[in-house]
Structure 1
Amino acid sequence: MERPGWAPPGVDITTPTSSRIYDYMLGGSHNFAADRAVAEQAIAAMPHLPAVLRENRRFLGRAVRHLAGEAGIDQFLDLGSGIPTAGNVHEITAGINPEARVVHVDIDPVAVAHSQAILTGHPYAAAVAGDLRRVGDVLAHPVVADLLDLDRPVAVLLVAALHFVPDDATAGAVLADLRDALAPGSHVAVSHASDDGRPPAGLRDAQSIYARADSAVTMRSRETLDAMLRGWELVPPGIVACPAWRPEPDDPPSAHFPGYGLVARLPHPA
């Protein structure tokens, strides 16, 4: 049985998880045989899936640079952060504002343990275990309360995360709870899988294979995402395919992307 020395005690390495599958597809090394098996089956059904995940990563970078730069946010809560790879949130923010504060949150103990090891001694970034479906518990976590001032604007990242919440009402409640808990001027960045239009070949097969991991992928339409954002104000260009959200000159051309990206702002009361 595979038991790498860095695996936290008690972690079930025979059950694949979405964060470790994502890590493998991005070329990471913090994954196990069970994760790699599901990933390879999904890639066989949808060969351009790793390219989709890389595009999602580029969206994350653009969104964080906008939030830390143009929007002036200096506090970030990364929900469903996964296993750190190059160009993670705390690295991006540090390049714009070295004192920006970042808390990474994930439910996978491997992702949390690896993040904590990387961030040891970092004065402005931390990683904690938490369930994004329980926003109140996450915001009340002592580490979150210590690093982030919830009386000031916070940018919450839900990048490739909400589509692992299968129930529409629960996914919508995440955005509603954040809306009710955060200060005006706070932002949320979301990327989400969708099968709007003609789905790419193999998309549904890949979705079925992914369901063998800890969380199945739930596709949602643009209209469903828009309805979940009640009380939030979309930042231009609104809800668009991830490659179309404020692309940068050096971004590679992208074919049809099976999902959306958006950034929304919590307005000040009228």
Structure 2
Amino acid sequence: MVPQSPEVDGVAFATQLVSCLQRFGRTALIQQVSGTEHTSQWFHGIERSHDFVVYVTDSQATAWSRLCLRQSDSILLLAHAVAKPQPWQAVIGNHASQQYRMELVLLNSNGIVPHAARGWLDLMPDIPHHHIGNMADCSRLARLLTGRGLGLTLSGGGARGFAHIGVMRALQEAAIPIDTVGGTSIGAIIAGGIAAGWDYQEMVFHMKRSFVATNPLDDYTFPFIALVAGRKVSRLLRPEFADVLIEDLRLPYFCVSSNLTTGHSAVHRQGELW
């Protein structure tokens, strides 16, 4: 775990993460105070006797940070979401760290701030990111890191896609957590609501207003490429999702679209949700 600056309390967050990881196996937390004076044999023994070992580096490229990176196979880049995006000094120039799995963890102590994640993702593109604001978020991160996360992908199907809302309700009633979500067509819209944190009643309200109270598919166009232009769907969805960005969603989210001009599919993980 690599804090972005001294203001980021890596030990405090690592302690929370360790408490969540312990549900899946024996977990050790190693910080500079406990690890500096030990030999490589000691580290080897710790790793052999535990299922997971969490190392907390310094925010700078110290000898301790380099040791932690050498011992690790996954790197969590830890930052306050609302802070000014700046590089992680502890990993700059450390070529060994680039071969490992890297993920971005954004701490949101007062809720997710709109558009705050975009600067961090511009700095560290093409790696997964996670919003952490409470223990439920920390538990989700632990499940995803250990390969125990539950992903939900919702298909298209027009009005039949409203059955997805029933699936969502059944999972919630069974207390089965959804850790990452995605979809295409109507499935992408409902998945977006799930990722935004809508409960069952909110989902029904928004879907009724957008798709039952009006016909979203009556903006016909001359069919060079498609029969329906799709502008009305966008206009109806924008009030429901407001100015939310995909990268600001509580859950990791993706949606899939088809480029009818090129004949290729596209996966979207950033940008305006609507």
Whether these two folds match at TM > 0.5 is no
- Greater gyration radius: 2
* TM-score (normalised: structure 1): 0.32
